Chains A and B, each alone.
Chain A
C-alpha cells in the first residue's frame, strides 16, 4: 500500500509552532498535592515556567500569636511532617537562646539522637519517593518500612508517631525510656543494611542513572544566591552544614563528615542524602555511647519547667507555679532572636520577637523548603518535561513547611 502522505510536499505541511501551555498540579501526585507548575513548552522542552505554592497555607505564624510560647510546639510539628522532631528541637533552642539557658547534658544527647533519627526518616522518605517516582517501587517499600521502625522508636518515646509535640523550652516532655538505647542501636543497624541493599538495587540500574545524572543541574553561585541550604546546597559542592559551621547542642564534640556533591544534579542530591544517613548513624552511635543513663533532662528553673505532679497536688508553691505556666505561659524576655539549626532540608531558622508577655509577638519560621522551591523554576527551565518529576522530587519540598 502507498503511504498516505506520498503526494504531500513537505513545504505544504502546516506544522503548528506556537508554544503549548501545560498545567501540572496541584492535584498531580508528583506535586505532593501542594504545588502547581504552569509550563510553556516548546516540544518537550520547558521554555518558561511559573511555580505556584501556597495550597497548604494554614496561617501558622498568625496562630502562633494567639497562644503561649509552649503552644507553638504543635504548630512547628505540623510544619514538617516528615521530621517533626527537628522542628521541635529547633524551636526549643530558639526559646532557650532568648532565655539564656542551656539544657542538661543528658537532654542535649537525647535531642541529638532523636534529631538524627528524624533526619534519617526525612532522607529515607525523600530518596524512597524519588525512586518510586521513577518506577522503582521496591526500594520505596524497603525505605518506608525503615521509616516505620524509626517512627516506632518515636512512638515509644513520645507517644505519637508523627506529631510528637515533644520538645519543651528548657528540656523535653519526658526522659528517655528504659530500652531506648538498645532499640535505637538495633534499628540503626538494620537501616544501614537496607541502605546497602538499596544502593545495590539502584546504582547499577541504567534507567535510574539515566533519569537522574546530569539532570536538574544548578550552579553553586545560583544555589547560594537563591538561599539554598541543606542537602541541595551540599550537592552543589558547598560544604555548608549548620552542625559543622555553627555547632549547637553537642555537635561540636562528635565526629562526622559533611558529604558534598560535584555536579549538582538530581543524582548528587540523591547520593548526598544516602551519605548523610550514614553520617547520622555515626552521630547516633557516638551519642548513644555518651548519653548518661541517669540525671535530669529538664533545666532546674521553675520559671520555665512545670513542677512534678506530686508537688502540684500537694504543695501550694507547686500549684501556683503550675497555674502560672499553664495559664499565663512562660515568659520570654522582651527582644528578638534568630536561632538556626540544621533541619532535614537545610537551615531552619526561627526569628522570634517577644514583648515580654507570655504570648509571642511574632514567630517567623524560616523554612528551608520555601527557598529551595523558589529555585525550582531555574532548575527545570530548559529541561525536558519528563525531568520535572525527578528534579522536583530531589529537592524534597515539604508542603507544610513551604506554605506554613
Chain B
C-alpha cells in the first residue's frame, strides 16, 4: 500500500532518495539531509500522501559509521491510513556538528520531539524556535543516548541557581536563560581515546579547550 509512497517520492525527488527498503512492512526512505524539509513539506501537502501526523521523531547513534547519526521520523496519514518512515544520516564521527533542518513549521509535534532529540542525542535542528533541553536540566553535560556517553557517568553537583531573569517566560534568546534563573547549558565535548573499543573515555569540558 505505502509502496506507492516510495515511488511517489522517488519520482518527484530522484536526487534526494538515497536508499529505500520495506523491512517487515515498514516502508522506509533514506533522504539526503539537505532535502529533508523539502520532501517532508511535499509529503504533507501532496494529496496522494497527505501525511497530517508526525507521530515520532528520534535519532539512532551508530558510532562506527560516517555520517554517525540517523534521524528517524515516522509519519502517519489519518485520512489515508498509511505510514512512512523517513531517515536522514547526519553528523561527523566525533559528533560535534550534527545538524538538520527543523520541521516545526509543518507539524506542531515536531517542537517537543526535536527538543527531545537534541537533548538526548545532540542533534541540532536548524531553525527550531526554542531549541533547549526538555527532559534534562540546562547544566547537564553531554547527550546521554549517544553511545560514547558512559551509562555510569556522574554529572557534577550544581550550585543553587541565582535568578537573573525572573520576569521572562520561554522562548528565550540565546543568553537569556530559562525563567526563574535557569541558565543556558554548556554542550560537553566527548572524545573516545581508543576509537570504538569503549575501554577508556575522557570527558573534556569546553573550558579545557
Contact = CB atoms under 8 A, between A and B. Distances in A.
Contacts of B28: 336
B96 interface: no
B72 A335 contact: no
Contacts of A49: 169
B208 interface: no
A362 B55 CA distance: 18
A347 interface: yes
Interface in B4-27: 23-24, 26
B24 A364 contact: no
Contacts of B58: 351, 364, 366
Interface residues of A, number: 52
Contact of A62 (B26, B108, B144, B167): B144
B56 interface: yes
Contacts of B151: 59, 62-63, 65-66
Contact of A349 (B54, B55, B134): B55
Contact of A353 (B60, B113, B133, B134): B60
A366 B56 contact: yes
A351 B24 CA distance: 12
Nearest to A21: B167
Give the dominant DSSP class at A's interface. Answer: mixed
A53 B134 contact: yes
Contacts of B36: none
B135 A53 contact: yes
Contact of B112 (A222, A224, A336, A374): A374
Given A49-B169, A374-B108, A374-B109, A227 B180 contact: no
A227 B74 CA distance: 11
Interface string B97-131: 00000000001110111001000100000000000
B204 interface: no
A22 to B, nearest CB: 10
Contacts of A370: 112, 116
A98 B109 contact: no
A23 B168 CA distance: 12
Interface in A83-109: 97-98, 100
Contacts of B35: none
B26 A21 contact: no
Given A38-B179, A49-B169, 10 more contacts: A53-B134, A54-B135, A57-B136, A227-B53, A336-B23, A337-B24, A338-B85, A351-B56, A364-B60, A371-B113
Interface of B: 23-24, 26, 28, 52-56, 58, 60-61, 72, 74, 78, 81, 83, 85, 107-109, 111-113, 116, 120, 133-137, 144-145, 149, 151, 166-167, 169-170, 179-180
Interface of A: 21, 23, 38-40, 48-50, 52-54, 57, 59, 61-63, 65-66, 97-98, 100, 222, 224-227, 229, 238, 240, 245-246, 335-338, 340, 347, 349, 351, 353, 361-362, 364, 366, 370-371, 373-375, 378, 403-404
8 contacts: A21-B169, A38-B169, A38-B179, A53-B135, A222-B108, A225-B107, A364-B60, A374-B109
The 3 closest A-B pairs by CB, nearest first: A227-B109, A54-B135, A50-B170
